[in-house]
Amino acid sequence: MPFVTRIVDAITLGSDHPLRRLMGYYAVLVLLTIGLHFLTPQFSRLFFDNPQGSSPETPFMLQDGLVGGASGDASTTTMAQLLLLTAVTLVGTVLVMLPVTWVYMSAREVRGHNAMLVQTLLILPIVVTGIVFVVRNSLALAFSLAGVVAAVRFRTTLRDTRDVVFIFLAISVGFAAGVYMLGLAALVSMFFNFVVLLTWRFGFGRNVLAPTAASQWKEPLSSLAKSNGSTEVPDRDVLLALDSGRVKALAERFARVRKMMGRNNRRPKYNAVVFVTADDVSAAQQRVEYALTQCTRRWVLDEIVSHVGKPSEMYYLVRLSKGSNGDDVVTSVRGTAVGVIAAVELQLADSFTQKEESA
Amino acid sequence: MRIEFVGAIASFVAMGIVGCSAVGTHTKGATIAQRDSSFAAHRKAATVTTGDPMVARWILPSWLSEISGLTLLRDGRMLVHDDETARISVIDVRRGEVTKTFVLGNGAVKGDFEGITTVGDTIYLLSSKGILFLFHEGDNDAGVRYRTVDTRLGKECEFEGVVYDSATSSLYLPCKRVLKKKEKKHEAGSLLVFRLPLPLGSTDDVARLELPLAQDDSSKKKPTFQASDITRDPTTGHLVALASRERQLLEFTTDGEVVREELLPPSGRHQQPEGIAITRDGLLIVSDEAVRTPAAITVYRWPLAPLSVVQ
């Protein structure tokens, strides 16, 4: 509904903030309701009807029981108005449920949603409203309907437990609209939307290792940012794949590497990392260090990670020669240590910086 | 395309709003004229004693489905009240129009209201426990001030209906169900009516009228009369009680002498008659609560033709 989007954009001044957009939509809805009330006061019946039995605006013409038994001239007007009120009620039901579907699709912990359920959230209240219109004043019809529903077995599996809550809300909105309490339905759904959105926004009740919705709104993961004021953070997806122990180890490595590489505003001492894997660490170390001495300006061994059952890892911090892009270093190390190393890779410091900026 | 779509929707809504308003205005004027002539014609036809005494019948909406009592104002307008809420509606029975509605207090007054009558300009609303609510007529959709008076008869009887007789300056309250064990004998075979002189004073001033009911020779059971309302015939000064379950009328004098009993006309299809009133120009008005059929107000000529008389 692009025209609805444009109206909301105009009210929220183009803001992408979910809460503001929701408030903008409800502002449009309230203005529409007020306009409808001033145009035709009878529509106020839709919003807060008297549960004891509506008292329409008097004077009120009664149906003539002697003319056809149930209809007369006065009923023609009443029927037309009743049909119009019913149509407006159904449209109002859709307008009330529309933001609920948006919240359902957006405020989720798990990616993806049930598209059929989204449509159900719009259609179910309309059906329930119609059912309530039919059985409103007849106990016999209500029991008959209960019997029909019981005879038809409904089985559905909802992936998310919250989906059940949305279904219940749809049913309650339908019931409220059916008894001309559309105002109550709107209030309930509005409150529901904001509560769902805010609990999702602040991750109420979440696992502390799970990402919060705050990250969706481009706020940094400040717990892993440097205490020296730098706002650069490690790659978020990388961190999400790690447990707390590994996150800490990785953070310490980055801190150590950054210290050696220097800050962005200073000339780095080293500008690349050479990563070598080998089974025989001592033999590989001798040859790799000989090659690095020949083709780099300076180098230092950062760390050796020994493994059992698979090749060990050696990390060297290097300062490349002027004009070198690192390919010659890789070629030299391979050529010198052929047969004793499994693989060699070189990572320039610029690529680290680019990854941090994109995170 | 979108602009045309929005424009079409807006036009449809505007036409619907304007059309309904216009249709309403046009139809109401024609309806009133038609009903005036129809009522006069039925009234004329109903004056023939052998014909159907029904003059008019009005179907009530859902919000008037539980009318529990009727009374008439001096100018002929009829007041009706709900069973559980203190809401009073004014109805023109000749045109079938609800002219206004007002409530007691802020509209939250609840109770089991069973009867209504007028004493001068004051309206008396009676609960089944013998509590009287006194107030004056209010404007449309207004909340009127009221005060309550306890007849202190609530422990003796469950009341259904009240009427004021100006000749005796007394309220007459028929008893639907006797609560005192020693008075239980009055439940069958007779109708117990309490007479309270105004202004209300001590319960010692209360008189009890025991009206004997006619026994059907073919049945051994004592006749019953489950009173649901009572009214006064302005022409004769007699009181007329209405029985809901028996669909019967009992006419008696203010001294407790039974004049006659008669059944409601079967053409009225009364499911649960709860209210009764008699006009100065000879019309009997009976209101029915909604049961299997919608609530209705039926107007007959008065007195009814003697279709069935139980002696």
- pLDDT 10s digits, A109-149: 666 677 888 888 888 888 888 888 877 767 777 787 777 77
Total residue length of chain A: 359
The predicted pLDDT at position A222 comes to 39
Where do we find the tokens 């059309």?
A: B19
Mutate: best of B5, B9, B17, partner A, most A CBs <10 A: B17
Burial (CB count within 10 angstroms: exposed 0-12, middle 13-18, buried 19+), residue A98? middle
Which SS3 state, helix, strand or coil, does residue A30 take? Answer: helix
Residue ranges of chain B whose CB lies within 8 Å of a chain A CB: 2, 6, 16-17, 19-21, 23-24, 27-28, 30-31, 34-35, 38, 42, 54, 56-65, 84-85, 87, 89, 91, 95-101, 140-141, 296-298
Look up residue B204 and give its DSSP letter: G
Answer whether B2 sits within 8 Å of A137, measured CB to CB: no
Look-up of token digits 């447990």: A243
Mean pLDDT value across chain B: 84
Tell me if residue A320 falls in helix, strand or coil: strand
Check residue B230 and give its pLDDT: 96
CA distance B231 to B283: 12
B6-21 pLDDT, tens digit per residue, is 655 665 555 555 555 5
> Does the beta carbon of A71 lie under 8 angstroms from any beta carbon of chain B?
no
Cα A87 from chain centroid (whole Å): 34
Are A40 and B297 inside 8 Å of each other by CB?
A: no
Question: Does B173 score more than 90 pLDDT?
Answer: yes
| Facing residue for B58 by CB, picked from A39, A58, A64 | A64
Cβ contact B97–A59 (<8 Å): yes
Tell me what pLDDT residue B206 has: 87
Predicted confidence at residue A226, as pLDDT, reads: 39
Q: A80 to chain B: which residues are within 8 Å by CB?
A: 19-20, 23
| CA distance from start to end of chain B | 80
Contacts of A132 (CB under 8 A, 6+ apart): A174, A175, A177, A178, A179
Distance of residue B219 Cα from the nearest chain A Cα, in angstroms: 36
CA torsion sign for B58, B63, B68, B70 is negative
- Mention every residue, 6+ apart, whose C-beta is less than 8 A from residue A130: A90, A178
Yes or no: say if B235 and B280 are a contact pair by the CB < 8 Å rule: yes
Q: How far apart are CA B168 and CA B193, in angstroms?
A: 15
Q: How far is CA B280 from the centre of its chain?
A: 16
Q: Of A168, A166, A184, which Cα lies nearest the Cα of A176? A: A184
Please give the structure tokens belonging to residue A96: 């009330």
- CB atoms under 10 Å from CB of A353, counted, come to 13
Residue A292's CB is within 10 A of a number of other CB atoms, namely: 22
- The string of DSSP letters for A52-64 reads T---PPSSEEPEE
Contact call for A73 and B34, based on CB within 8 A: yes
pLDDT of residue A207: 61
Beta-carbon separation of A81 and B20 below 8 A: yes
Inter-chain residue contact B27 with A77, CB threshold 8 Å: yes
Q: What is B176-195 written as a DSSP string?
A: EEE-SGGGGGGTBTEEEEEE
Residue B1 confidence class, pLDDT cut points 50, 70, 90: very low
Closest-CA distance, B225 to chain A, in angstroms, reads 28
Do strands B97-104 and B143-144 pair parallel, antiparallel, or not at all (unpaired)? parallel
pLDDT at position A158: 63
For residue B114, the surrounding DSSP H or E stretch is strand B113-119
What is the distance between the alpha carbons of residues A166 and A164, in angstroms, rounded to a whole number? 5
Contacts of A61 in chain B (CB under 8 A): 28, 31, 95-98
> Other C-beta atoms within 10 Å of A324: how many?
16
Instruction: At A312, list the tokens.
Output: 């060990």
Report whether pLDDT(B35) > 90: no
Amino acid at residue number A234: P
User: Cβ of A119 under 8 Å from any chain B Cβ?
Assistant: no
Q: Is A203 on the interface with B (CB under 8 A)?
A: no
How far apart are the CA of B77 and the nearest CA of chain A, in angstroms? 14
Q: Quick: pLDDT tens for B52-69.
A: 788 999 999 888 888 999
Strand pairing report for B113-119 and B122-127: antiparallel
| pLDDT tens column, B96-119 | 999 999 999 988 788 899 999 999
CA distance A333 to A341: 9
Structure tokens at A19: 């809460």
Q: Are strands B54-59 and A296-305 parallel, antiparallel or unpaired?
A: unpaired
Q: How far apart are CA B16 and CA B5, in angstroms?
A: 17
Buried b (16+ CB within 10 A) or exposed e, B120-134: eeebbbbbbbbbbbe
pLDDT lower than 50: segments of chain A: 50-54, 69-77, 216-234, 352-359
8 Å CB contact between B250 and B258: yes
d(Cα B55, Cα B285) in Å, to the nearest integer? 10
pLDDT band at B71 (very low <50, low <70, confident <90, very high): very high
B125 forms beta bridges with B116, B133
Say what the pLDDT of residue A262 is: 56
Structural tokens at position B241:
């009680």
- Residue-wise pLDDT for B103-162, tens only, equals 999 887 888 999 999 999 999 999 999 999 999 999 998 899 999 999 988 888 899 999
Q: What is the pLDDT of residue A250?
A: 59
Q: Is B28 close to A40, i.e. CB distance below 8 A?
A: no
